[in-house]
Amino acid sequence: MLILSLDTSSPVLTVALHNGDTIVGEETNWMPRGHMAKLIPFVDELLVAKGFKIDDVTHIVVGSGPGSYTGLRIGMVIARTFAQLLEVPINGVPSADAIAYRNISEVGIVCPIIDAKRAEVYTALYRPTDGSIERITEFMAIHPDELAKKLLDEGYERVVFAGDAVSLYEGVLAETLGERAVFAAEAAWWPRASDLATLALPRIVAGEFDELYKLAPIYVRLSQAEEMWEKRHQR
Cα–Cα distance list, 137 to 16, 75, 109, 126, 211 (Å): 28, 25, 11, 8, 24
The pLDDT-based confidence of 137 (bands split at 50, 70, 90) is very high
Is pLDDT of 230 > 80?
Answer: no
Asked if the domains at 3-95+190-233 and 104-183 fall in one CATH topology, the answer is yes
**What average pLDDT does the structure give for the chain?**
93
pLDDT of residue 36: 86
Is pLDDT of 75 > 50?
Answer: yes
Is pLDDT of 11 > 90?
Answer: yes
Contact 139, 218 (CB under 8 A): yes
Measured over the CA atoms of residue 48, residue 54, residue 59 and residue 62, the dihedral's sign is positive
pLDDT digits (tens, 9 = 90+) for 185-229: 999 999 999 999 999 999 999 999 999 999 999 999 865 444 444
Cα–Cα distance list, 52 to 19, 31, 32 (Å): 11, 25, 28
pLDDT of residue 222: 65
Q: Hey, where are the domains in the chain? A: 3-95+190-233, 104-183
Q: Which CATH class is domain 104-183?
A: alpha beta
pLDDT of residue 235: 53
pLDDT of residue 223: 53
pTM listed for this prediction? 0.93
pLDDT of residue 31: 87
CATH architecture of 3-95+190-233: 2-Layer Sandwich (3.30)
pLDDT digits (tens, 9 = 90+) for 83-134: 999 999 999 999 999 999 999 977 789 999 999 999 999 999 999 998 899 9
pLDDT digits (tens, 9 = 90+) for 149-199: 999 999 999 999 999 999 999 999 999 999 999 999 999 999 999 999 999
pLDDT of residue 228: 46
Tell me what percent of the chain is helix, strand and coil, each rounded to the nearest 5: 40, 25, 35
